[in-house]
Structure 1
Amino acid sequence: MTEETAVPVRPTRNRRQVWLAVAVTQLVLAVLTVGAVTLAYNTLNGNIEDGETINHQATKQPVAAEDAGPMEPLNILILGSDSRSGDGNDIDGLGDIGERADTTILMHVSANRKNAYGVSLPRDAIVDRPDCMDADGEMAAGAEQVMFNTAFSEGGAQCAVQTVEALTGIYIDHFLVVDFNGFKDMVEAINGVEVCLPKEVNDTEHNIFLPAGVQTLTGQDALNYVRERSILSVTGDIGRMKRQQAFIASMINKVKSAGILSQPLSIFNFLNAATSSIEVDAELDSVGKLADLATQFRNTGLSDIQFITVPIAEYPLDPNRLIWTEQADELWARIMDDQQLGKDFSATSIGADDSVGSIDEPTQTPSATPTEEPSDTPTTDDPTDEPTTDPDEEAAAEAAAEARRQAGLCT
């Protein structure tokens, strides 16, 4: 053979080393990513204590909603514990005073997951509490004409759930208990929640000081805001419930609108704060179960999430106590039939899409001097002219504004 045979060019040793380094780096990154996700999952899962199986006093009824879809409606009882035990909970130096339900909200989620509404249940409402079984299987004796929140103090979340079921007939699917420190941590995890105070709070008795106006509250200030009931609202605890509804609505708005659900670090911080301080039932006692529940809300619009207070009246024997009115029975029926609130109940509701409002500006006094000369030509009203506004809608809007004012919210 007279011509030399061509020999293929082989990768140099340096090029082989580069490709090997790249491959090893990718493998290490993959392992670290899987490890980080696993560690995060295990950390969050380890935060959650084993849940309790609910001892029900109501029977789950099938709902024949027209567009229910493959899922069933959910009823979740959310309880805010005022326990001073545990890190960060002794906020006022009272020490261990037991545990009561400072806040109770019955959250109904429609079967099609297109709307949800929360119903605040006043802690000072007078009810007949049934016998109930606590988490340890011990029976807590019932009592007549006692405050609603005694159910939680007598038998914990279990007794609170059973009491609501007995009083309303509504089957409670899940419960969730949050303490003071957990609330503060969750607010911190999303960098605060926007509120509007119509006036300054200078409450020396409870050591609560907040400026007036629109602001973002974090930590202890956020907790002070939702617990304050002597200065901001003229209706005391009733107004405080309304402010709690507004705060939660604003919190939901921020979580959904600010893209927090798409930020891994923010999600981890929020879940870490939540799972470190919540008590849940056995059906929600893992990150996977909580995440599955959360993803069911992805198609629920902000305008479809509302908060109201159960219809109430003054307790005849004590003006400092409340009772549920007969209209409450209509609300329970709506929940059991998986119906929306309707105009009667939603007229003074607070939605997750609502603005926090602004401080009312003083109205200007109209000038005594007419701006135009009166005309000699008489004017005739056209009888066919329709009113530009609906009187019922105007009345509803004014009622909603008045409810906000009495609760210490901006309008």
Structure 2
Amino acid sequence: MSAESTPEPAITEPGTRGRRRAKGRRRKAASGRRKALLVTAWTAAGVFVVGGTGLGYVYFKLNGNLKSVDINQALGNDRPAKADNGSENILVLGSDTRSGSNRKLGGGTDDGSARSDTAMIVHIYKGHKKAAVVSMPRDTLIDRPQCTDTQGRTHPAAKAVMFNEAYSTGGAACTVKTVESLTGLRMDHYLEVDFAGFQKLIDELGGVKVHTTKNIDDPQSHLDLKAGTHQLTGKQALGLVRTRHGVGDGSDLGRIQLQQAFVKALVNQVKEIGVFTNPKKLFDLANTATKTVTADSELGSVNSLSDFANGLKGISSSQMHMVTMPVQYDPTNPNRVLIQRTKAQQVWTALKNDKPIPASATKDAAKGEANGVVTSS
């Protein structure tokens, strides 16, 4: 199916004034702390297909690497019902923690703080042969519900706040609660990856091949690519999915379009190099990914991740329909976007019923003018 695109968010300081809308060059981010990270953790989960090797060392080493969060315990029973049609929804998040090795990659201070720089709802259709991916722009103004984090702390509801404020307030559990409140969809699983892990995963894969139709030059994301075909290193891939000033209108919406194109290229790369049939590469990738990815507690073991990943192996990039949650620019602040609720509801209703997302749902939504700049061929 063809990929449709739209926006992607960043936390911006209060009082910032709008950049020009639509075709005007959008205002540059005030700091490197607003860099977006493409999260392809659900694809990276494919490297966990090691559960059947029978090697105790492999199992215990990888199991010891894993980090998990108990979303179900934190949220309790006040959630949408699980789908009964065989489909699954996975919330995939990219976090920009400011601690450790992520400091020099994400900018900002080494204070251990974090935000969700990228969020995608991955809907796996019944039969696990195709998927829909809905990017959630981080600049979206929303009403966040009251939520309880995994430490048991309750955070009061808040109105007209940035979407990624949910993560900085209450972490994974609060983000899941917010997404379920916005969509009415149950998030069956949660996957999160960070800057440093993303970069290393790409290098472990041997890079990712993309084609750019225009020059991309963005000093802020340290990316300089001429139009043409490139085998991106981990550093270049991270620069590509973070860039917002090197191409398009300088918006997060344009950045999402680049990210979605990169996801497809990454899926193709995983299949082309045959990681599932190369034991050493599979172990190296699994070792890196288990140190990088945080999962919900139901996926918090190698066996569970192995079963989950096996269920995704049949999905090719051509069977991924990628869209962005329908939004429009906020007329009072073009640095923010607002949900087009009627159109967004078409998306959520389609996924709830395990149906394709209708073209009408994303028609005329705000876009970032970077569509087609990056392709996987």
Instruction: Tell me if structure 2 keeps the 8 A contact 1:77–1:107.
Output: yes
TM superposition shift of 1:128: 0.3
Tell me if structure 1 keeps the 8 A contact 2:202–2:234.
yes
Name the residue aligned to 2:105.
Answer: 91
Distance of 1:247 and 1:173 partners within structure 2: 25
Correspondence 1:80 to 2:91? no
CA shift at 1:202, angstroms?
3.2
2:57 aligned counterpart, secondary structure: helix
CA RMSD of aligned residues (A): 2.5
Alignment of 1:35-114 (within 5 A): 37-54=55-72, 55=75, 57-63=78-84, 65=85, 72-91=86-105, 93-96=107-110, 98-114=113-129
- The residue that corresponds to 1:334 in the other structure is 350
Counterparts in 2 of 1:408 and 1:298: CA distance versus 1, 3 Å: closer
CA separation of 1:37/1:171 partners in 2, compared to 1, >3 Å: closer, same or farther?
same
Partner Cα distance (1:114, 1:405) in 2 = 28
Shift of the alpha carbon at 1:89?
4.4
- Give the letter aligned to residue 152 of structure 1: Y
250, 255, 269: which one aligns with 2:265:
250
| % identical equivalent positions | 35
Secondary structure of 2:63's partner?
Answer: helix
Q: CA deviation at 1:175?
A: 0.7
Alignment CA distance shift 1:35-1:163 (3 Å): closer
TM-score by length of 1: 0.72
Call closer, same or farther: CA 1:403–1:155 in 2, change over 3 Å. Answer: closer
Code of the aligned partner of 2:62: L
CA 215–107 in structure 1, closer or farther in 2 if over 3 Å, else same: same
In structure 1, how many angstroms separate the alpha carbons of the residues matched to 2:361 and 2:278?
36
Alignment match of 2:285 (pick from 235, 259, 270): 270
2:18 corresponds to which residue? none
Q: Kindly state the Cα deviation for residue 247 of structure 1 after the two structures are TM-superposed.
A: 0.7
d(CA) in 1 for partners of 2:53, 2:324: 46
Corresponding residue SS for 2:69: coil
Name the TM-score, length of structure 2 as normaliser: 0.78
- Which amino acid in 2 is paired with 1:48? L
- Cα deviation digits, residues 33-91 of structure 1 (max 9, x gap): x999221221111110243233154222443x5xxxxxx21111000001121234432
Give the whole-Å Cα distance in 1 for the aligned partners of 2:336 and 2:53: 54
Match of 2:374, SS state, is coil
* Structure 1 counterpart of 2:152: 137
Quick check: 1:174–1:281 contact (8 Å CA) kept in 2? Answer: yes
Distance in 1 between residues matched to 2:290 and 2:218, nearest whole Å: 32
Q: Distance in 2 between matches of 1:229 and 1:155?
A: 27
> Which residue does the alignment assign to 1:241?
256
SS of match in other structure, 1:275? helix
Moved >6 Å (runs of 4+): none
Kept after mapping to 1: 8 A contact 2:96/2:102: no
After superposition, the Cα gap between the structure-2 partners of 1:334 and 1:37, relative to the gap in structure 1 and judged at 3 Å, is: same
Of 298, 301, 319, 2:313 maps to 298
Q: 1:262 to 1:344 in 2, by over 3 A?
A: farther
* 1:140-159 alignment runs, 5 A limit: 140-159=155-174
SS at match of 1:158: helix
The Cα shift of 1:148 comes to 0.5
The equivalent of 1:220 in structure 2 is 235
Tell me if structure 2 keeps the 8 A contact 1:51–1:284: no
Corresponding letter in the other structure for 2:271: K
Does the 8 Å CA contact 1:110/1:116 hold for their aligned counterparts? yes
Per the alignment, in what secondary structure is the counterpart of residue 234 of structure 1? coil
Q: Secondary structure at the match of 1:216?
A: strand
CA offsets, 1:220-251, max 9 Å, x none? 11101100001212251101011111111110
User: What is the CA distance between 1:194 and its match in structure 2?
Assistant: 1.3
Structure 1 CA distance for aligned equivalents of residues 246 and 285 of structure 2:
31
Amino acid at match of 2:96: D
| One-letter amino acid of the counterpart of residue 96, structure 1 | D
- 8 Å CA contact 1:119–1:308 kept in 2: the answer is yes
Distance 1:115 1:50 in 2: 26
Can you give the 5+ residue segments of structure 1 that lack an aligned partner in the other structure? 1-33, 66-71, 349-398
8 Å CA contact 1:82–1:101 kept in 2: the answer is yes
1:123-202 counterparts in 2 under 5 A?
123-202=138-217
Deviation at 1:404, TM superposition (A): 6.8
1:315–1:323 Cα contact (<8 Å) kept? yes
Show structure 2 runs of 5+ residues with no match. Answer: 1-51
